[in-house]
Amino acid sequence: MHAVVSDFQKYKECREKNQDMYIRPAEDRQLRRRRREVRRAEIRRIRRKKAVLIAAVLLIVFISIFTALAAKKTEAVGIPLYKYYTTVEADRGDSLWSIASDYMTPGYKDCGELIDEIMAVNHLQGESIDVGQKLIVPYYSSEYKD
């Protein structure tokens, strides 16, 4: 018949033989619980580091965008532009688009805006022009002219 040996007896026998091989179930549970807590703490640390890294990257991106926008506004505001008008005679093959692209300056968003202004200044009803027709073309310059 087998004798029932308790955990405490097994532990006591191992201790007497100077063996640290046997760990009581209660100690084993505590050890597993402690390891689980350490793992969870490590996971929380890693998640916190990721969150801080993502926040730092987003902050750098936003600062870069706002700096670029501010620089662009400063560029536009920093250099004074003066509006002038010149007279252009339409040659063969010229169109309002080709003339506008020749006189396009930073004062206008795009060629369409300049064409609208050319049409308004010259009282044009459509975009067609004739050879030899004289047009007043506005343009901007940073140079002040008397």
Q: Which DSSP string do the residues of 76-120 spell out, in sequence order? A: HHHS--EEEEEEEE--TT--HHHHHHHS--TTSSSHHHHHHHHHH
Per-residue pLDDT of 39-73, as tens digits, reads 999 999 999 999 999 999 999 999 999 888 877 66
What is the distance, to the nearest Å, from the Cα of residue 78 to the centroid of all Cα atoms in its chain?
25
Q: What is the dihedral sign for C-alpha 15, 17, 18, 23? A: negative
Contact between 111 and 100 (Cβ < 8 Å): yes
| Pair of tokens at residue 87 | 């007279």
Q: Is the dihedral of CA 105, 107, 111, 116 positive or negative?
A: negative
Condensed to tens digits (0 to 9), the pLDDT of residues 13-31 reads: 766 666 555 555 667 778 8
C-beta pairs of 3-11 under 8 Å, 24+ apart in sequence: none
pLDDT at residue 67 in the model: 87
108 or 3: which carries more pLDDT confidence? Answer: 108
Residue 94 has pLDDT above 50, yes or no: yes
The tens digit of pLDDT for each residue in 98-123 reads: 999 998 888 888 888 999 999 999 99
Res 18: pLDDT:
61
DSSP secondary structure code for residue 136 in this structure: E
The proportion of the chain whose per-residue pLDDT surpasses 90, expressed as a percent, equals 40
